[in-house]
Amino acid sequence: MVKIAIAGGSGNVGQEIIDVLVATKKHEILLLSRKDAPPGETAPSVTWVKTNYEDPEQLDETLRGVDTVLSFITAHLDPGSVAQKGLIDAAVRAGVRRFAPSEWAMAKFDHMPWNDGKTEIREYLKQLNKDKKVLEYSLFVPGLFTNYLTRPYKSTKHVHPMETPIDFDQRRLLMVEGRDDARITLTTVTDIVNVVARAIDYEGEWPVVGGIRGDTLAIGEIVKLGERVRGGTFKVERLQADDLNSGVVKSSWIPRPDHPSFTPEQIEALAERLTAGILLGISVGAASVSDEWNQLLPDYKFTKAEDFLAEAWHGKP
């Protein structure tokens, strides 16, 4: 049994991982949140800690005796990465063995400035260990959640099925002209949280880049998959990179990436810019991730995108 601290654990992915870790009945879990604990009881192995990430003394005391810290602090809600840097520094002072920064998405962040905080934390951790290893850490990167493609239907308990440029419901897809071969890794939330649970118990050293690869497909292959799963032809709109680089999306529809960390007003205001950035990022390989955790956990069977989506959409209109 080890003691695990989960920062930003009241968020969607954090809650999914807490559920799996609680089910193992192996660990003591500290859920760190800026919010007050909600009414009702938490699991016996979970302790809610209202946390001020700018209070070093409180963080040091909270993390004392903790083996592993998993961070889900939202990058664009942490200007200057103040909260996450404070968490890292406190982890070092408290003698924490392992740290997972708030990643849980793309391999790289080209064209996606809202993820600048993640880039900053990658560099911060790299510099921390520049001369000698101070803190073992891994960047858990799974690509795109396959569960997003079941929108509007939920296919997991906590993660909201966010709208993306790949819309299985309306059988349509946006992409950059000439990039049918751009590859996207699709990984289910179930696979992600199961890998994290196994990583907690993993006796070897964590890889710095911790790719979690469910299935990696070219956009053209995803279109064909969608047509098999949903029936009928997908409407594919190919957009010009020059327009997207100017923040202009010349399409018949623009996805509203209704992530819980954005207000409806922010989503409406940013939808075009977010879509342009996501499409450009995908076109240069940002969503295609490596498979370090697949190699380290050879006995774990990852879910194929078509198997998951065929089951999720079975019987749906």
The domain locations on the chain are 3-137, 144-186+215-288+298-313
Q: How confident is the model at residue 264 (pLDDT cuts 50, 70, 90)?
A: confident
pLDDT, greater one: 125 or 11: 125
- State the average pLDDT over residues 195-208: 97
pLDDT, greater one: 167 or 160: 167
Q: How confident is the model at residue 285 (pLDDT cuts 50, 70, 90)?
A: very high
Is residue 216 scored above 80 in pLDDT? yes
Chain-wide mean pLDDT for the chain?
95
Q: Which residue has the tokens 């179930």?
A: 190
Task: Give the model's pLDDT for residue 258.
Answer: 81
Determine what percent of the chain is predicted with pLDDT higher than 90. 89
Thinking of the domain 3-137, which architecture would CATH place it in?
3-Layer(aba) Sandwich (3.40)
What are the angstrom distances between the C-alpha of 40 and each of 116, 180, 193?
36, 49, 24
Tens of pLDDT, residue by residue over 10-65, are 889 999 999 999 999 999 999 999 988 888 767 889 999 999 999 999 999 999 99
Beta bridge partners of 238: 175
Beta bridge partners of 185: 216
Bridging pattern class, strands 68-71 and 46-50: unpaired
What are the angstrom distances between the C-alpha of 255 and each of 9, 231, 276, 278?
27, 22, 10, 11
- State the average pLDDT over residues 146-156: 97
Query: CA angle at residue 273 from 269 to 277, to 5 degrees?
Result: 150
Tens of pLDDT, residue by residue over 50-73, are 999 999 999 999 999 999 999 999
Task: Give the model's pLDDT for residue 182.
Answer: 98
| Backbone dihedral region for residue 223 (phi beyond 0: left; psi -120 to 50: alpha; all else: beta) | alpha
Closest by CA to 8, choosing from 81, 117, 84, 63, is 84
CATH entry, 144-186+215-288+298-313, from 3.90.25.10, 3.90.1150.10, 3.40.720.10, 3.40.50.970: 3.90.25.10
The amino acid that residue 56 corresponds to is P
The amino acid that residue 258 corresponds to is D
Tens of pLDDT, residue by residue over 300-315, are 999 999 999 999 999 9
Task: Give the model's pLDDT for residue 261.
Answer: 75
Task: Give the model's pLDDT for residue 257.
Answer: 82
The count of residues in the chain is 317
Please state the three-class secondary structure of the chain as a single string: CCEEEEECCCCHHHHHHHHHHHHHCCCEEEEEECCCCCCCCCCCCEEEEECCCCCHHHHHHHHCCCCEEEECCCHHHCHHHHHHHHHHHHHHHHCCCEEECCCCCCCCCCCCHHHHHHHHHHHHHHHHCCCCCCCEECEEECCEEHHHHHCCCCCCCCCCCCCCCEECCCCEEEEECCCCCCEEEEECHHHHHHHHHHHHHCCCCCCCEEECCCEEEEHHHHHHHHHHHHCCCCEEEEECHHHHHCCCCCCCCCCCCCCCCCCHHHHHHHHHHHHHHHHHHHHCCCCCCCCHHHHHCCCCCCCCHHHHHHHHHCCCC
